[in-house]
Amino acid sequence: MIRITDILDKTQSYLSQEEMEMIQKAYVFSASVHQGQVRLSGEPYLTHPMEVAGILADLKLDAPTILTGILHDTVEDTVATIEQIEEGFGKEVAFLVDGLTKISKITFGSQVEKQAENFRKMMLAMSSDIRILMVRLADRIHNMRTLEYQTPEKQRYIAKETLDLYAPLANRLGINWMKVELEDLAFRFLEYEAYNDLARRVTKKKEKRDQYTQEVKSIIKKEMEKAGLPGEVEGRAKHFFSIYQKMQEQNLNFDDVYDLTAFRIILDSDRERECYEALSMVHALWKPVPGRFKDYIAMPKANNYRSLHTTVIGPYGERVEIQIRTRVMHEWAEEGIAAHWRYKEKRADLGNDEEQIKKLRELLETQQELKNPREFMSNLKLALFPDEVYVFTPRGDVQAFPKGATPIDFAYSIHTDVGNQCIGAKVNRAIVPLKYELQNGDTVEIITQAGHHPSKDWLKFVVTSRAVAKIKNWVKIEEREKSVGLGRELLEKEFRKNHLKLNQIIKSDEMKKVYEEYSVASLDDLLALIGYGRVSAKRIVHQFLPETDKAGGGAAVAKVRTKGSEQSPVGISLTGIEDVMVRFAKCCNPIPGDEIVGYISRGRGIAVHTAMCPKARDMDSERLVDVEWSIKEKHTYPVDMRVVCRDKKGILAEVSAVISSLDTNISRAEINTDPDIEAVLDFRIDVNDLNQFNQIASAIKKLKDVVSVERVRKR
């Protein structure tokens, strides 16, 4: 148990002698009025206010705050009165204790209206002075640490309130260690089994991880020395609740959560510049993962958190999360408003630290009347979680989403089927587009239609990982269905050609052998392989042909194969499908750089058209698939180009010279002279991509007698 001398030791460095004496006096008072009371743990009650005061002293908060910590439960739980507090410790402390007494009387109902009213009362009491909030948070920390002595019902209730209100408040105030501890403690009581399971798994790997942590730390440290950047490196295990959240949100198993350990570089220097220097040092050491760099120094978080974040590929090919900050930034990241407030008197330049609280207070004061409790709740949550939006279901339940979320995200949060079959949405009763960005306080209603399917386009605007995962999953299934259909067409055609009927053969023993040979379990699996282009239909049919036909058939297969490999276009990839039979459409002859679409043609694999191709635009959209260029090695593509110029001797030579000077091969040239003194030169040239074509075209355009240069799309 913490003793009064421990608290005095903690405060000695920054409080005056008189203030220290006052603390001793408060201790004596508190001890006398709590005399005989015990906590559920069996300890004397006094341990609680003393622990709370100890937390406040660690944060180096001022004397009235620490006094309030020692006295916070006296008026609520003992015979002491607020007048006695005022008499003994002054108006300020009495005001703070009174605020805390009020809060402790507030309980939350389940109704939105009642909950809102009580939330407001509590927030009002806490925000009238930030110190009330600080004591309340310290109080909650100690109560959570000793929650095991409560009944299971109380444990759940208090843990839920902690997760819903106090952990976010701590986060809002930027006090990271409190947020983390409150979340982990609440998690332990709310999801007992999940917590234990996680704790067990984390400990199991502890030794190996510690060794790894040491190794990474020393590599970074060495680099820092080389770069002349003094400071320290921390490697810490992520807290359980954040691992759990990640597993839940992204639907991961424990083994798939790669970054259990996060590293932190804390620089001795106060200069921001050194943070960026350390960042480039890290990026030179290990390859950064694209899209994971975040600059919270240039753009601090709403709670004033500042740091650089990056993820790199570490020494074993694993992902490593690294934060970089100065010592001052670090102190603020851990203690937030407490550090802010502590420095306030010493350093005037630190800005308006209580801005957040002021905003909160204004919000509460302008809503005295509380005409619309729902609006109040969403405004309050907005003030607590600035990166989220709060919307209502038609039944009035509040739902939180990341900023930028759309009705589709909302739909998937209700149920996978609601998401999959979503065809429209109403916000505040008006129809909105599916990519509408949800706003605070919106009431959202989803319109579904049985049998409707999600669209791949949704992936462009949904923001929740749940929605992304569900849509991708559906797309994968859909693409498999398309391949099965394509495979069936190819196979049936091949059987027909050889005067065989697929339906008759399906159930034969021969077919079972085929399944075995390709390690598939069903006809659909086999058809999918054919559709994906991994197995040729001819080869399957071949196995069902009489011996005499086989020789010829075999030759045909060989022929088709060579032909196939010649024709198989280089540099096309399909989202979600591999190794498909792909060919370029003759009508528009796409080259890398062109926007392209794929079309599942009947029996002939996938044809790639340019997105602009008039033929592609008229096609059955059900059969269109996404294709992308993926250029691994250079390859040339034929392009037809028409150059119109004034007829002049030698122009062909001039144009040809320009083309060859750009390292481009001409495979065909044709000249037609017009009676109107215009010459038309048709070329077929081999280019790597659209870029190269454009370069050639613009070089030719610069020639004096050239009128126009264009790409010919139809032949």
Residue 77 annotated among the catalytic residues of the structure: yes
**Residues binding Mn ion: what is the number (CB under 5 A)?**
2
Q: What phi and psi values does residue 59 have, to the nearest 5 degrees?
A: -80, 0
Choices 138-146, 352-360, 365-373, 555-563; region in contact with Mn ion by CB under 5 A: 138-146
Q: Which is nearer to Mn ion, 48 or 361 (CB)?
A: 48
Q: CB of residue 144 vs Mn ion: minimum separation in angstroms?
A: 11
Choices 133-141, 432-440, 568-576, 605-613; region in contact with Mn ion by CB under 5 A: 133-141
Choices 135-143, 218-226, 518-526, 628-636; region in contact with Mn ion by CB under 5 A: 135-143
CA–CA separation, 296 and 304 (whole Å):
9
Q: CB of residue 120 vs Mn ion: minimum separation in angstroms?
A: 22
CA–CA separation, 408 and 468 (whole Å):
10
Q: Which is nearer to Mn ion, 70 or 491 (CB)?
A: 70
Q: CB of residue 48 vs Mn ion: minimum separation in angstroms?
A: 6
Choices 65-73, 219-227, 550-558, 585-593; region in contact with Mn ion by CB under 5 A: 65-73
Q: CB of residue 73 vs Mn ion: minimum separation in angstroms?
A: 5
Q: CB atoms < 10 A from the CB of 631, how many?
A: 14
From the candidates 77, 354, 478, 678, give the one annotated as an active-site residue: 77
CA-closest candidate to residue 656, choices 689, 681, 623: 681
Q: Which is nearer to Mn ion, 100 or 502 (CB)?
A: 100
Residue 117 annotated among the catalytic residues of the structure: no
- Contact between 139 and Mn ion (CB under 5 A)? yes
Write the single-letter amino acid at 364.
Answer: L
CA distances to 375, 387, 392, 568 from 371, rounded to whole Å, are: 9, 26, 17, 69
Choices 21-29, 66-74, 265-273, 344-352; region in contact with Mn ion by CB under 5 A: 66-74
Q: Which is nearer to Mn ion, 143 or 610 (CB)?
A: 143
CA–CA separation, 431 and 438 (whole Å):
13
Sign of CA dihedral 559, 562, 567, 569: positive
Does residue 482 contact residue 622 with C-beta atoms inside 8 Å? no
Both tokens of 205, joined, read: 């790997």
Q: CB of residue 395 vs Mn ion: minimum separation in angstroms?
A: 36
Residues with Cβ < 8 Å from 510, sequence gap 6 or more? 543, 544
Q: What phi and psi values does residue 475 have, to the nearest 5 degrees?
A: -60, -40
Q: CB of residue 28 vs Mn ion: minimum separation in angstroms?
A: 19
The total number of residues written for the chain in this structure:
715
- Contact between 184 and Mn ion (CB under 5 A)? no
195-224 residues near Mn ion, rule: CB under 5 A = none
Choices 71-79, 182-190, 447-455, 611-619; region in contact with Mn ion by CB under 5 A: 71-79
Q: CB of residue 338 vs Mn ion: minimum separation in angstroms?
A: 19
Sign of CA dihedral 210, 213, 215, 217: negative
CA dihedral 71, 74, 80, 84 (to 10 degrees): 20
Does residue 528 contact residue 483 with C-beta atoms inside 8 Å? yes
CA–CA separation, 181 and 133 (whole Å):
17
Chain position whose Cβ is nearest to Mn ion = 139
Q: Which is nearer to Mn ion, 93 or 572 (CB)?
A: 93
Q: Which is nearer to Mn ion, 143 or 307 (CB)?
A: 143
Does residue 191 contact residue 244 with C-beta atoms inside 8 Å? yes
CA–CA separation, 599 and 338 (whole Å):
62
Q: Which is nearer to Mn ion, 151 or 253 (CB)?
A: 151
Which runs of E-coded beta strand occur in 273-360? 287-288, 294-295, 308-313, 319-326
Out of 73, 129, 181, 274, which residue is the one contacting Mn ion (CB under 5 A)?
A: 73
Both tokens of 589, joined, read: 């002859």
Choices 67-75, 366-374, 434-442, 467-475; region in contact with Mn ion by CB under 5 A: 67-75
The three-point CA angle 542-548-551 to 5° equals: 60
Choices 137-145, 195-203, 258-266, 550-558; region in contact with Mn ion by CB under 5 A: 137-145
Q: Is 392 helix (H, G, I), strand (E, B) or coil?
A: strand
Q: CB of residue 367 vs Mn ion: minimum separation in angstroms?
A: 28
Q: CB of residue 103 vs Mn ion: minimum separation in angstroms?
A: 10
Q: Which is nearer to Mn ion, 98 or 139 (CB)?
A: 139
Q: Which is nearer to Mn ion, 140 or 330 (CB)?
A: 140
Residue 522 class from Cβ within 10 Å (0-12 exposed, 13-18 middle, 19+ buried)? Answer: exposed
Does residue 437 contact residue 401 with C-beta atoms inside 8 Å? no
Tokens 């890398």 sit at which residue?
A: 592
Q: CB of residue 71 vs Mn ion: minimum separation in angstroms?
A: 10
CA–CA separation, 237 and 210 (whole Å):
9
Q: Which is nearer to Mn ion, 157 or 276 (CB)?
A: 157
Q: Is 706 helix (H, G, I), strand (E, B) or coil?
A: strand
CA-closest candidate to residue 659, choices 629, 633, 679, 639: 639
Q: CB of residue 51 vs Mn ion: minimum separation in angstroms?
A: 9
Q: Which is nearer to Mn ion, 69 or 174 (CB)?
A: 69
Does residue 40 contact residue 110 with C-beta atoms inside 8 Å? no
Q: What phi and psi values does residue 570 have, to the nearest 5 degrees?
A: -90, 140
Greatest Cα pair distance, the chain, in angstroms, is: 117
From the candidates 6, 19, 76, 626, give the one annotated as an active-site residue: 76
Question: Would you please indicate which residues are annotated as catalytic (active-site) residues?
Answer: 76-77
Residues that bind Mn ion (CB under 5 A): 73, 139
